[in-house]
Structure 1
Amino acid sequence: MATAATASRAGRLAIIAGDGKLPLYVAQAARAGGENPFILPLRNEAAQDWHGFDSAVIGVGDMAGLARLLKQNGIGRVVLSGGVRRRPAFGEIRANLRHILKLPSVVRTLLAGGDDVVLKMVIELIEAQGVRVVGAHEIAPDLLATAGPIGKVVPGEDDRRDIARAADAAEALGRLDVGQGAVSVGGRIVALEGVEGTDAMLARVADLRAEGRISKSRKGVLVKLCKPQQDVRADLPTIGRSTVENAVKAGLSGIAVEAGRSLIVDRVALVAMANDAGLFVCGLDRSLPGDGL
């Protein structure tokens, strides 16, 4: 985490806040580090109450409004955090002079690009305003997953085989810029994450199990990995209490995420919930034998 003096030299921090609790955790970490973050909740996406923080709501495609707010508030650094459920329609895009020549390319990317391609474009457009985009983990490093078991429950041999199988599938999925997660049950890939997100994918697994299309005698594992080509300043794989809750409903035995390149929100409560449910949570270091487990 940057010191207050270092942060002051780098300019004020802005947090573009999407859905979920991650933006609030990043804002609290910034404030604990002596900063006064300016919050930019995305209209129809962010659900947090930002009372007590300087803030201004902005539309998802309003680049001109964003540029104005960055300048007015002396912003030098920007964090992108939280989920965005939909991409802006053409009529919602507001471009300034620095962006107008790029508008055709922006529209093509929004229509046909994967999430990682879109986020790289967004970072480029923001940094064209003379600010620097930084990762949520740079402001709140305590959120990063560590290697090995994170709770008191540890994966067994069958779980390790499912972890390896799901990790290979998640990596292949990431290379296609489709999603970050996969579920393996008994060595069989039963679900891949798409635009619906992790919680919806787990709900689908629960439905398949209830219908008898997935074995009820075998548990299974969820694995989430950072995409191989991903810019780590945006959209790191994230799990929270809802992930544990939905993994339990799906009948899984555990969750594995990439150590150092994934975020765990509300870690203490998440670990307590997982321990109570007999569910393991662990961090994978794929550069080590056995993924660092």
Structure 2
Amino acid sequence: MSGAPKTAVLAGEGALPGLIVRALGDAGTAPLVLALEGMPVAVPAEGFRLEQLVPLLDRLVDQGFARVVFAGAIRRPRLDPERFDARTASLVPRILTAMQHGDDGALREVIAIFEEWGLEVVGVDEVCPALVPDEGVLAGEPLTADRADAARAAAILSATGALDIGQGCVVVQGLCLAFETLPGTEAMLDFAALHQGLRPRPEGARGVLFKAPKPGQDRRIDLPAIGPDTVAQAARAGLAGIAWQAGGVLLLDREATIAAAQSAGVFLWARA
């Protein structure tokens, strides 16, 4: 595709960076892949340090890059004060102030900095829209009780979104069994598995994992994601299925995830 904008991918953990790199390559624009030094990424990437962010931004502009995609989970790095260049050091107060408002605030500030260099930050859903399913049931069939649990979970996440805590929760028979916090989805589902015996009616509804972006979240960075591992973890927790906000959650490795859900007897539902 001649004339396609030059794109840099800031790769984090997980399978998503590889999917994005492949999608961009298929579209005719081989991206520059970057990753924070020391971060385990599953694609070949050039390392950089956050303490040298401004020189990196200058280089991207000088080399004609027009847009940037953030892909995968990025852990907050340990910073070395002695390695900051003067211009990057001048940005630290802005970032630290934003971080006091949680991850969303920090991410919005990072986007603003990239945009100040004339770089467009685009969402994964723009680069690879097939990763974000529209409304519909993809595997199994949620029962009436499951749909009620999903509605309850959606209400919980909507109410807690302003607190910038997490993007998922587990609801069983109308009760919140587990909530996603800093350790992430896997830790939440491990907790749910450990406490699955707390169902009020042992023979009743088995519960639902629900995921959604936080209300007002900038969806260009840090969309929640579901993949085959999520299905396996939900099955171990004894849950009936996984529901999520249609158009707001990444479905990684769609065919494998659906196959895993069918094998485990777990429903998959993109809920409006």
Using structure 1 for the length normalisation, give the TM-score: 0.85
Instruction: Say if 2:18 and 2:43, in contact at 8 Å, map to a contact too.
Output: no
2:48 aligned with 1:58: yes
Shift of 1:106: 1.5
Shift of 1:214: 4.4
Instruction: Say if 1:240 and 1:267, in contact at 8 Å, map to a contact too.
Output: yes
Amino acid at match of 1:107: L
Deviates more, 1:234-243 or 1:68-77: 68-77
Q: 2:64 aligns with which of 74, 85, 105?
A: 74
Partner of 1:271 in structure 2?
Answer: 258
Q: 2:119 aligns with which of 107, 131, 142?
A: 131
Partner of 2:166 in structure 1?
Answer: 179
Instruction: Say if 2:94 and 2:109, in contact at 8 Å, map to a contact too.
Output: no
Residues 133-161 of structure 1, C-alpha deviations (whole Å, 9 max, x = no match): 1111111111012201012x010011011
Q: 1:233 aligns with which of 214, 220, 239?
A: 220
Percent identity (aligned): 37
Q: After the TM superposition, which segments of 4 or more aligned residues of structure 1 sit over 6 Å from their partners?
A: none
**Hey, what's the Cα distance between the residues in 1 that align with 2:214 and 2:13?**
21
Instruction: Say if 2:11 and 2:41, in contact at 8 Å, map to a contact too.
Output: no
Partner of 1:49 in structure 2?
Answer: 43
Using structure 2 for the length normalisation, give the TM-score: 0.92
1:85-96 aligned within 5 A: 85-89=75-79, 91=81, 94=84
**Hey, what's the Cα distance between the residues in 1 that align with 2:170 and 2:185?**
10
Instruction: Say if 1:237 and 1:263, in contact at 8 Å, map to a contact too.
Output: yes
Shift of 1:92: 8.1
Instruction: Say if 2:50 and 2:79, in contact at 8 Å, map to a contact too.
Output: no
**Hey, what's the Cα distance between the residues in 1 that align with 2:83 and 2:154?**
37
Unaligned residue ranges in structure 2 (runs of 5+):
none
Unaligned residue ranges in structure 1 (runs of 5+):
286-293
Amino acid at match of 1:64: V
Shift of 1:65: 4.3
Amino acid at match of 1:148: G
Partner of 1:140 in structure 2?
Answer: 128
**Hey, what's the Cα distance between the residues in 2 that align with 1:92 and 1:124?**
25
Q: Specify the SS of the correspondent of 1:194.
A: coil
Instruction: Say if 1:65 and 1:94, in contact at 8 Å, map to a contact too.
Output: no
2:158 aligned with 1:204: no
Partner of 1:257 in structure 2?
Answer: 244
Partner of 1:20 in structure 2?
Answer: 14
Distance 1:104 1:35, change over 3 A: same
Q: 1:39 aligns with which of 33, 38, 42?
A: 33
**Hey, what's the Cα distance between the residues in 1 that align with 2:129 and 2:71?**
14
The size of the alignment, in residue pairs, is 270
Partner of 1:280 in structure 2?
Answer: 267
Instruction: Say if 1:167 and 1:223, in contact at 8 Å, map to a contact too.
Output: yes
